Amino acid sequence: MRSLREIYSTSLNESLIELCRQEILETYLRIEKEQVKPFPEVYAIFEKLQEMGIKIGIATGRTSLPEKEWDRFKSYGLDHFIGALVTSQEVAKRKPAPDAILECSRRLKVPPARCLVIGDTESDVIAARQAGSLSVAVALGDGDWASLAKENPTLILRGMREFSLFLDAQGFPRGGRERTRRRV
């Protein structure tokens, strides 16, 4: 089967194809910036994690420049919570390979085995497992319950509210002073 590029390359030149690709990408990013916002619970969860003394890293499958991702989180008002951010552009292999998680772990100076990787796709769960980290699958966005459950995450939840309740149940005191925690 021939690709669209092969089909249209006989009648369209490469510069026109690139121009269309750029236009589509710019339109997507503009609409995303205007209309996509974090789930409301995210702000409270990030604050809770910070109060608990837990480092936050973002290991995204996006191929955008890291600066663009920092700008995106800044526009959401979340950048000050994030200790490390890694995009797929910065690593050899994209998820489900563990590269982004391992690099994020390195930047946070937290061993992968002590990382709790939260994601909403099967690739997130696979990458966490391959990195040797615990995986929390949250059924929202791209991943549904059944497809996430097939990958056997450490924990699977039905939304950010359940994740917040899970954090409350772990026994972390405020301010990051650790006491006995329940195991996942």
State pLDDT tens for residues 99-113. 999 999 999 999 999
47 shares a domain with 82: yes
What is the spatial distance between Cα 154 and Cα 112, in angstroms, rounded to a whole number?
14
Q: Is 147 exposed, middle or buried (0-12, 13-18, 19+ CB in 10 A)?
A: middle
Q: How much is the pLDDT for 177?
A: 40
What is the spatial distance between Cα 99 and Cα 109, in angstroms, rounded to a whole number?
15
- Domain range for 12 is 4-34
What is the spatial distance between Cα 93 and Cα 4, in angstroms, rounded to a whole number?
25
135 shares a domain with 61: yes
59 shares a domain with 20: no
pLDDT digits (tens, 9 = 90+) for 40-57: 889 999 999 999 899 999
Segments in the chain below pLDDT 50: 176-184
What is the spatial distance between Cα 172 and Cα 170, in angstroms, rounded to a whole number?
6
Name the domain count of the chain.
Answer: 2
55 shares a domain with 11: no
Q: How much is the pLDDT for 12?
A: 61
150 shares a domain with 73: yes
Nearest by Cα to 127 from 158, 156, 94, 91: 94
Q: DSSP character for 184?
A: -
| Residue 180 in domain | no
β strands within 12-168, DSSP E:
56-59, 82-86, 116-119, 134-138, 155-157
Look up the pTM and report it.
0.77
CATH number of the domain residue 125 falls in: 3.40.50.1000
65 shares a domain with 26: no
Contacts 24+ apart (CB under 8 A), 179-183: none
Q: Indicate if the alpha-carbon torsion angle 138, 110, 38, 176 is positive or negative.
A: positive
